[in-house]
Amino acid sequence: MSKEPMNSFAGKWALITGASSGLGLDFADLLAAQKVNLVLAARRRESMEKLAADLRRKFGVDVLVEAIDLAAPGAASHLKSSLDARSVTIDILLNNAGYGLHGALLDTPIERTTDMIQLNITTLTELTYLFGRDMAARRSGHILLVASLMAFQAVPSYAAYAATKAYVLALGEALHDELRSHGVVVTTLCPGHTATGFDAAAGAATTALLRLLTMKPRPVAASGVRALMEGKAMVIAGLANKMAAFSNRLTPRSMQRATLKRIVDG
């Protein structure tokens, strides 16, 4: 715990999307431990209600549950309106919801791809706009966008997913500069392969090489929260992942694609 961020968010409200599984669980636990009140938003109400009860008991914080399909058009506005009606002011937005699809683009039903784009890009952008606008008006706020190590290069068999995360990274870095003068911190977290169930949801097998590179979710989430509190524009979780991203500056893009193809598909 000594390596986790020092307490400066206590008493504020944080909205965590994708809060029913994966990194969302660790984001929730880390913030609740700092006495941050939470809004948990995802589709699975039952798992969020259990998490909420655990966090209330362990840390004595307020936790609200918003069961919502964030991939549905208009979901961001609906969520914002629901919280406004409850007079909940969001000080910290963790845009964590998202998923990937593994396989050739032409072999994947286009409806699944557009659903992923809706969640990974459109809803994320709408939430950032809606809550970021309020934060800018108050001249105070923090926004964490979860991208991916795949944001740094094209990835065959994850073509559309990697492209959505490249968007998130570019958006986050630009907004870091745009909103800084308004008192709002925007940080983008780029995890590498993390033990969150991502592969099962994406329909992918985990290669032996990928297993060697896998990080546990707790240090990934902690690095994101720490970077947000420190006001950084971007953080890559893990030394090996930092080295991989840096190596992209030194290698041809064709080599990057070939390397990633070997790592994710064997």
Three-state helix/strand/coil letters over 6-59: CCCCCCCEEEEECCCCCHHHHHHHHHHHCCCEEEEEECCHHHHHHHHHHHHHHH
E strands, the chain, where?
13-17, 37-42, 63-67, 92-95, 141-146, 184-190, 234-236
Q: For residues 69 and 75, give the distance between their C-alpha atoms in angstroms, rounded to a whole number.
A: 7
What Å distances lie between residue 72 and 17, 69, 145, CA to CA?
Answer: 14, 6, 19
Which residues does the annotation mark as catalytic?
Answer: 161
How many residues can be counted in the chain? Answer: 266
- The C-alpha R_g of the chain, in whole angstroms, comes to 18
Q: For residues 167 and 54, give the distance between their C-alpha atoms in angstroms, rounded to a whole number.
A: 35
3-state secondary structure of 144: strand
* Amino acid identity for residue 141 in this structure: G
